[in-house]
């Protein structure tokens, strides 16, 4: 990976009974890292492997947890089917992605420890550029999957549906983007619809509206109209494409530069539940926000 580049794997999941949810992002060259940004500004070549992190967020009424500790290169190890980040690990065994988590949140030191297993229903080799120069790419690996969660801290055990994708870039995100809105929803036939609105309302923006079928086919669909969503508590503007105005079911994350929420909306003639996120890059790279981030994202080594 080039200096200043990044790679991440993203998972979200919801229990079958709707009472538990999670998101997990494994970063190489963390795009959210203030330490990586400061190192780049120093002018020296910066190895992405020196800025790895496992972001874990758990959502339930009784046990919300969040952690994202960055690890230096001596604490990380990557192979074709194995990624070790400090005491945590992701391993592809040929049929499932096994994730062993041993993390502690900050500033409140609440532990997250246990095992997550993700079983893809279909693997995809699809990848597409998000920018005009092709330096930033995205693609789902398992848009339809099952997940089994067994945690000791906090104690919970559940299974449900899940989604796995990946983003990679040859340069920092701020060189190509100012903002995007992304969402994914599972449809009644088991396929997954993804909307990726990159640089919305800009002439150079790109809109992806893709349906990932259970047989491995990828088919575009006509994106519905754009609707403004209420601004977040941090006043981030966000939008979603839907056949009718969408409703926010639950606000999962609300930060100065990033938000994640669950929506109820009309899409392709169905009422669906969507995971939705917005990234606002100028906020991310602002000096004030960069100075705040170590409070939630400590670094080890």
Residue 260 burial by CB count (10 A; 0-12/13-18/19+): exposed, middle or buried?
Answer: buried
Distance set, CA 66 to CA 23, 135, 245, 277 (Å):
10, 30, 30, 17
Q: What is the pLDDT of residue 106?
A: 93
Contact status, residue 243 vs residue 267, Cβ threshold 8 Å: yes
Encoding tokens for residue 84?
């070790």
Q: Which residues of 182-219 are buried (b: 16+ CB within 10 A; e: fewer)?
A: bbbbbbeeebbbbbbbbbbeeeebbeebbbbbeeeebe
**How big is the CA angle at 253 (ends 250 and 254), to the nearest 5 degrees?**
105
Contact status, residue 110 vs residue 104, Cβ threshold 8 Å: yes
Q: What is the pLDDT of residue 236?
A: 96
Q: What is the pLDDT of residue 205?
A: 87
Q: What is the pLDDT of residue 203?
A: 78
Residue 12: count other Cβ atoms within 10 Å of its Cβ.
23
**CA pair distance 39, 4, nearest whole angstrom:** 9
**CA pair distance 281, 170, nearest whole angstrom:** 17
What is the pLDDT tens value at each position of the chain, 301 positions in all? Answer: 899 999 999 999 999 999 999 999 999 999 999 999 999 988 766 899 999 999 999 999 888 999 999 999 999 999 999 999 999 999 999 999 999 999 999 999 999 999 999 999 999 999 999 999 999 999 999 999 999 999 999 999 999 999 999 999 999 999 999 999 999 999 999 999 999 999 987 878 899 999 999 999 999 999 999 999 999 999 999 999 999 999 999 999 999 999 999 999 999 999 999 999 999 999 999 999 999 999 999 999 8
| Helix, strand, or coil (residue 167) | strand
Q: What is the pLDDT of residue 38?
A: 94
Which residue has tokens 């997550």?
A: 116
Distance set, CA 28 to CA 35, 55, 221, 291, 300 (Å):
13, 11, 32, 21, 15
**How big is the CA angle at 243 (ends 127 and 181), to the nearest 5 degrees?**
40
Q: What is the pLDDT of residue 202?
A: 81
Q: What are phi and psi of 255, to 5 degrees?
A: -125, 175
In this structure, which CATH number among 1.10.10.10, 3.30.9.10, 3.40.50.300, 2.40.370.10 belongs to the domain 6-300? 2.40.370.10
Q: What is the pLDDT of residue 46?
A: 87
| Helix, strand, or coil (residue 121) | coil
**CA pair distance 264, 209, nearest whole angstrom:** 18
Cis bond before residue 40 (omega within 30° of 0): no
Distance set, CA 3 to CA 10, 40, 84 (Å):
22, 8, 20
């Amino acid at each position: 990976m080039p200096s200043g580049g990044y790679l991440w794997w993203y998972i979200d999941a919801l229990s079958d009974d709707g009472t538990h949810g999670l998101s997990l992002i494994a970063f190489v060259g963390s795009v959210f890292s203030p330490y990586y940004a400061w190192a780049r500004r120093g002018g020296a070549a910066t190895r992405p492997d020196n800025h790895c992190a496992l972001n874990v967020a758990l959502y339930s009424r009784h046990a919300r947890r969040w952690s994202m500790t960055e690890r230096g290169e001596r604490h990380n190890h990557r192979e074709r089917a194995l990624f070790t980040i400090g005491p945590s690990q992701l391993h592809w065994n040929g049929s499932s992605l096994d994730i062993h988590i041993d993390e502690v949140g900050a500033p409140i030191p609440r532990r997250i420890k246990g095992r997550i297993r993700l079983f893809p229903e279909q693997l995809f080799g699809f990848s597409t550029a998000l920018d005009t120069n092709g330096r930033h790419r995205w693609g789902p690996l398992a848009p339809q999957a099952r997940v089994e969660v067994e945690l000791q801290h906090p104690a919970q055990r559940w299974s449900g549906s899940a989604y796995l994708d990946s983003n990679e870039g040859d340069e920092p995100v701020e060189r190509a983007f100012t903002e995007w809105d992304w969402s994914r929803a599972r449809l009644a036939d088991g396929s997954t619809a993804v909307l990726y609105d990159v640089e919305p309302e800009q002439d150079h923006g790109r809109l992806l509206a893709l349906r990932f079928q259970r047989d491995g086919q990828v088919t575009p669909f006509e994106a519905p109209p754009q609707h403004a969503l209420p601004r977040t508590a941090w006043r981030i503007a966000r939008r979603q494409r839907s056949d009718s105005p969408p409703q926010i079911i639950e606000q999962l994350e609300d930060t100065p530069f990033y938000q994640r929420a669950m929506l109820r909306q009309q899409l392709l003639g169905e009422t669906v539940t969507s995971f939705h996120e917005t990234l606002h890059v100028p906020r991310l790279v602002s000096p004030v926000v960069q100075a705040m981030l170590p409070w939630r994202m400590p670094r080890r080594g």
